[in-house]
Amino acid sequence: MENPAKKMLIINGSPRKDGCTSEMINFFAGKLSILYDITVFDCFGNAFSPCCACGYCEENDGCVYSDMDGFFVTLEDSDAIVIASPVYFLSYPAPLKNIIDRCQRYYSAHFIRRIRPTVARPKLGALLLCGGSDNRFAFEVMEKQAKQIYSIINTKYAGMAVRSNTDSPAGIFPSERLEELAEDFIRFCDQ
């Protein structure tokens, strides 16, 4: 397909251009590029202000800061959102966590101002994670966070692919469920 109509936003939480997160993104994007026009957003190259808990979004549409205006337009305009990230201390690296916290504007819209849906265009969501150790707890925690975000931005969660033990001297541990997740995504798009 020369000009795919659907748009996918991949939010890349890793600072490393050739790390495991990038590998997972490249594989996933390679499989999905026949269906989606894909934008990869580099969180470390575009760091935003953290949420300052000012309460502006409890009364108003949007955020008191304007630095993420362009990002929010891209996000709202997308048909698919993929969060791709390494594990940092059982959570997301700080620039990506800032983006997650700034989604408080959608949380307030949904739960306080009761705008349903907060984002008009429905989306499909997925999560790609890699961690240096074999501790799976971080994947569970980060999946819970991602699901919470997806639930307030009109996004149906398709699932998670992970790669653990990336820092192991014992060699390379392959990604789990990455290919299946790409196939699930293709199936969901057909529905």
Ligand X SMILES: Cc1cc2nc3c(=O)[nH]c(=O)nc-3n(C[C@H](O)[C@H](O)[C@H](O)COP(=O)(O)O)c2cc1C
Binding site for ligand X (CB under 6 A): 14, 16, 19-21, 86-90, 130-133, 135, 138, 166-167
Secondary element (H or E) of residue 129: strand 123-130
Nearer to ligand X, 136 or 156 (CB): 136
Name which of 19 and 117 has its Cβ closer to ligand X.
Answer: 19
| Residue 43 half-sphere exposure toward CB, CA atoms < 13 A | 26
Kindly give the residue spans of alpha helices, DSSP state H, lying in the chain: 20-32, 56-59, 69-77, 94-102, 104-107, 137-152, 178-190
Q: Is 82 helix (H, G, I), strand (E, B) or coil?
A: strand
Residue 127 · residue 87 · CB < 8 Å: no
Closer to ligand X by Cβ: residue 4 or 19: 19
**CB 163, min distance to ligand X, A:** 7
What is the Cα 93 distance to its own chain's centre? 12
Nearest distance, CB of residue 84 and ligand X, angstroms: 8
Is 63 or 138 the residue whose CB approaches ligand X more closely? 138
Q: How far is the CB of 13 from ligand X (least distance, A)?
A: 8
Q: CB of residue 29 vs ligand X: minimum separation in angstroms?
A: 15
Buried b (16+ CB within 10 A) or exposed e, 100-116: bbbbbbbbbbbeeeeee
Q: Which is nearer to ligand X, 21 or 118 (CB)?
A: 21
3-state secondary structure of 98: helix
Least distance to ligand X from the beta carbon of 42, Å? 12
The residue with its CB nearest to ligand X is: 19
The CA distance from 169 to 55, in Å, is: 47
